[in-house]
Amino acid sequence: MPRLSIIVGSNRPGSNGLPVGSWLLRRASEREPFGEVGLVDLAEVGLPFLDEPEHPSTGRYRYQHTRNWSALIDASDAFLVVLPMYNGGYGAALKNALDFLYAEWRDKPVALVSYSAGASGGAPAAEALRPVLERLGMRLTGEPVALPGIDELVDGEAGFRPTPAIVAALDALLDEVTAVAVAGSGSGSGSGRR
């Protein structure tokens, strides 16, 4: 059964990405096709800025933090990335995490959920990320879901409180990434380099 990893693409303390990612974790865990659903908080992963001396495409990693990151991503069959918009783009922590690896991302489906305090819901950040994901050989799945006015949707105590329209959009995105992950998971967990 495929493994879905929900990546929270911000390492900022108090980021709204964690409540959104936690809600998605609960929602995705209710879906039978996934053998495992995990939340990957980049703040917790704590990668330094890319410090490997060799190009990621070689797969030769000097540092344990890279080997750990590689194993986590390699074991995943599909990704849902929750990303904020900072100044019209996506954050450095997410780009750094993507750049650490290469083969581990290849041919795996990825869906995007962006957010911002403003009316765009972070859609420009998701659009800016698309070419990077394509360059890594990932399969973009579904239409990205943008969450405008995120500060009104996240409550410190209640967590993420989506509107019915947002729930429907997120469920549709989960349906799409589920279908693609199940179709591509012939051999079980992880399809990266072994």
Please report the pLDDT score of residue 157 as a whole number: 83
Give yes or no for a contact between 7 and 40, defined as CB atoms under 8 angstroms apart. yes
Task: Identify whether 188 is part of a domain.
Answer: no
In a domain? residue 65: yes
**Is 189 part of a structural domain of the chain?**
no
The answer as to whether 142 is a domain residue is yes
In a domain, 10, yes or no: yes
Taking only the tens of pLDDT, the chain with its 194 residues reads 889 999 999 999 999 999 999 999 999 998 777 779 999 999 999 999 999 999 999 999 999 999 999 999 999 999 999 999 999 999 999 999 999 999 999 999 999 999 999 999 999 999 999 999 999 999 999 999 999 999 999 998 889 999 999 999 999 999 999 899 888 865 444 544 43
The CATH number that applies at residue 65 is 3.40.50.360
Let me know if residue 191 belongs to a domain. no
CA 55 to chain centre: 22
Domain total in the chain: 1
Confidence at residue 172, expressed as pLDDT on a 0 to 100 scale: 95
| pTM (2 d.p.) | 0.93
Domain assignment present for 190: no
User: 193 in a domain, yes or no?
Assistant: no
Residue 130 in tokens? 């698309």
The pLDDT of residue 193 is 44
> Domain range spanning residue 113?
3-183
